[in-house]
Amino acid sequence: MKMPDLSYRAALVGACESNLIGYPGGEERTIRCTSLQLHLEAIKNVSEYTGIPISDIDGVFSAGWSSELAEHLGIHPSYIDTTSVGGCSFQLHVRHALAAIAAGMIDTALISHGEAGWSYRGMGGRGGGGRGEVSPAEEATAAYGIAGAPAQYAHAMVRHNHVYGTTPEDFAHISVVTRQWAMKNPRALMYSKETNPFGGEITIEDVLNARLIAWPMTLYHCCLVTDHGGAVILARPEIARTLKSKPVWVVGAGESMGHSNMVEMEDFTATSAHRSAKMAYEMAGLSPNDIEMAMIYDSFTITAGITAEMLGLAPRGRGYTLWKEGHAAPGGRLPINTNGGGLSFNHSGMYGMQLLVEAYRQMSGTAEDGVNGDPGKQTEASNCIVNGTGGTLSTTGTLILERD
Amino acid sequence: MAYDKPIPRQGQHNKPFWEGAKQGKLVLPHCTECNSVHWYPRLICPFCHSDKLDWIEVSGEGTLYTFAVQHRLAAGAWAKELPFVTAFIDLKEGDRMQTVLRGVDPNKPEDIKIGSKVKVEFEQANDDTFIPFWRVVES
């Protein structure tokens, strides 16, 4: 089916983070953020940034939180979406909100995220769901010891290595280059040795020699687990044009999924991003060659490498070359993950909101150029492809954003 | 020693699978319309969406699709066995199963070959549950 052309039918008019991000209470957890607190800090910030009163919001989008958020804010939205499909939920929210705005159902959509990934790590009770029964897929795979995302994703790297002759070292370049971006972002957890003992520059050897999490992935192939909140507002053009903040246009959007449980993943070297990207490119009237920067979900190096291939930014099997050859690095032709990524900036568990916040900052020219003596983070790019991956390489959402 | 690792729950939808396992047989859902087998057990065929399913014994042979070595994360008592090799198996009859892989050395992952021939075997977990695991028989 041909997707409707919703290009320029709504704009991101602001994107803000929560006040506290990273490891707010340190190793001792002297502060324990709640996820709700992280949501509300970000919502308050984006309302002030755009000048849109919270009372004007008529659509609420979040990964499972929308009714609680609306109640807490004392608003009565006429569009409520709680799509919760892992880290890419927020890319899907933008697409859903775009459709709702284009259809004339709402004017101003709030998309919000808060996740105390660090404060409540290991304490349980996180995440949505809770339907009180185990799915047949979970039952069938429960016997085999796999726990956590790295345990699953490592299988994809081994398969990629086998099919394409790649190596863990090839993917290590993604960690190294992403860290170079983090070193330009004072808000990044791994900005420097001062912000974190593991921060600052890392080498290929550091990545390869770090402790193994799930062979062949070492610690540095894996994202951080932090506290993070973020909120963006999507508004119809008539509103976007009147605000004190700059509009960033949504010109392409797509979503798709492959599977839920990894045992149903057909090809461990390919995700549904090739479908969600095709929708986004078609809507935008653009091709991969037209893309000037990318925000790509990097829960693990393998996630980013495969996704770059799925987005058509590199040939199959060669996604990692964008990093290895320096194209994705500061000063390269295709900057990728300019905030320092989930690998070195922040990753709360569902990272898609952080992708959106950084993409907004880059496309609105408000990234940290020159902040704290770190010029160079602001790119010249006039468009940005944003791809989120959720679950176990399962669901994907792709957006193409454009500078005003 | 009693089996202390996670034991899958059984229900009506997968009863023949576990009854087969008890007899050392790999019994999978089979679609009588498109003749494909699948795993995990579904209520309708995931390939043609027919609800005319029965159960058949399959060969218990397959090939290694991919694997990883768990060094840090493990469910329940599997933690005591770190490092161990987890894997996905392509069945001779089609579709894929998950396993903890046997017949391999987790400290020599370079020696484990994708495409290796594997065979199923069963380990008793309790009176009613014999859990299938796959072993590399030829690499």
> Which residue of B lies nearest to A142 if distances are taken between CA atoms?
B8
What would the pLDDT profile of B66-78 be if each residue is shown by its tens digit? 999 999 999 889 9
> Does residue B1 surpass a pLDDT of 80?
no
List of chain B residues whose C-beta atoms are within 8 Å of the C-beta of residue A142: 6, 8, 75
Nearest to A399 by CA among A293, A300, A321, A328: A293
What average pLDDT does range B73-92 have in this prediction?
95
Whether A144 sits inside 8 A of B99 (CB atoms) is yes
**Domain coordinates in residue numbering, chain A:** 11-122+224-403
The CATH class of the B13-138 domain is: mainly beta
Please report the pLDDT score of residue A374 as a whole number: 58
Residue B38 reports pLDDT greater than 50: yes
Mean pLDDT of A191-215: 96
- Tokens describing residue B90: 């392509």
pTM score: 0.95
Closest CA to B100 of B129, B75, B72: B75
> Cβ(A398)–Cβ(A311) under 8 Å?
yes
The pLDDT confidence band at residue A124, using thresholds 50, 70 and 90, is very low
Is pLDDT above 60 for A244?
A: yes
Yes or no, beta carbons of A147 and B39 under 8 Å apart: no
Residues A203, A207, A210, CA angle at the centre, nearest 5°?
125
Question: CA nearest A274: which of A257, A262, A297?
Answer: A257
Which among A145, A162, A264 has CB closest to B100?
A145
Q: How far is A264 from chain B (nearest CA, A)?
A: 8
Residue A7 and residue A98: Cα distance in Å, rounded? 9
pLDDT at residue A371 greater than cutoff 60: no
Per-residue confidence (pLDDT) for residue A50, from 0 to 100: 98
Nearest-angstrom CA–CA distance, A110 and A108: 7
What's the rounded mean pLDDT across residues A148-153? Answer: 94
Instruction: With a cut of 80, say whether residue A2 has pLDDT above it.
Output: no
CATH code of the domain made up of A11-122+224-403: 3.40.47.10
pLDDT at A27: 85
DSSP per residue over A13-74, as a string?
EEEEE-S--BSTTTTTTSS---HHHHHHHHHHHHHHHHT--GGG--EEEESS-HHHHHHHHT
pLDDT interval class at A131 (50, 70, 90) = very low
A7-11, A146-150, B54-58: the lowest-pLDDT one:
A146-150
Residue A211 or residue A122, greater confidence:
A211
Mean pLDDT, chain A, integer = 93
Q: What is the average per-residue pLDDT within A391-402? A: 97
Cβ–Cβ of A155/B66 closer than 8 Å?
A: yes
Residue A128 has pLDDT above 80, yes or no: no
Interchain contact, A148 vs B81, CB within 8 Å: no
Task: Say what the pLDDT of residue A242 is.
Answer: 97
pLDDT for A59 equals 98
Question: Using the beta-carbon criterion (under 8 Å), do B5 and A154 form an inter-chain contact?
Answer: no
pLDDT of residue B139: 76
A162 neighbourhood in chain B, CB within 8 Å: 66, 114
A142/B109 Cβ within 8 A = no
For B94, phi then psi, to 5°, come to 105, 165
Domain spans, chain B: 13-138
- Is A267 an interface residue toward B (CB < 8 Å)? no
Which residues 31-70 of chain A have a CB within 8 Å of chain B?
A: none
Does residue B29 sit in helix, strand or coil?
strand
Nearest to A87 by CA among A403, A388, A393, A404: A388
Distance CA(A360)–CA(A268), nearest Å, equals 31
Q: What are the tens digits of pLDDT across the range A13-52?
A: 999 999 999 998 888 888 888 999 999 999 999 999 999 9
Q: Is the pLDDT of residue A370 over 60?
A: no
Chain A residues touching residue B83 (CB < 8 angstroms): 212, 215
Percent of chain B with pLDDT over 70: 99
Which of B73, B89, B112, B120 has the highest number of chain A CBs within 10 A, making it the mutation to test binding with A?
B73
Torsion of CA A138, A142, A144, A150, to 10 degrees: 60
CB within 8 Å: A215 and B68: yes
Measured CA angle at A140 (ends A138, A142), to 5 deg: 60
Interface test with B, best of A215, A220, A225, A300 (most B CBs within 10 A): A215
Signed CA dihedral, A231, A352, A236, A287: sign only = positive
What is the reported pLDDT for A337? Answer: 98
Q: B98 vs chain A: nearest CA distance in angstroms?
A: 6
For the beta sheet containing A79-81, the strands, ordered from the edge strand earlier in sequence to the opposite edge, are: A79-81, A59-62, A108-116, A227-235, A11-17, A248-257, A395-403, A383-390, A294-296
Indicate the pLDDT class of residue A138, thresholds 50, 70 and 90. Answer: confident
pLDDT of residue A125: 40
Give the model's pLDDT for residue A369: 60
Which chain A residues in 142-161 lie under 8 Å from chain B, judged by CB atoms? Answer: 142-148, 150-151, 154-159
Query: What is the mean predicted confidence (pLDDT) over B21-30?
Result: 97
Nearest chain A CA: its distance from B77 CA (Å): 8
Of B66, B71, B83, the CB nearest to A158: B66
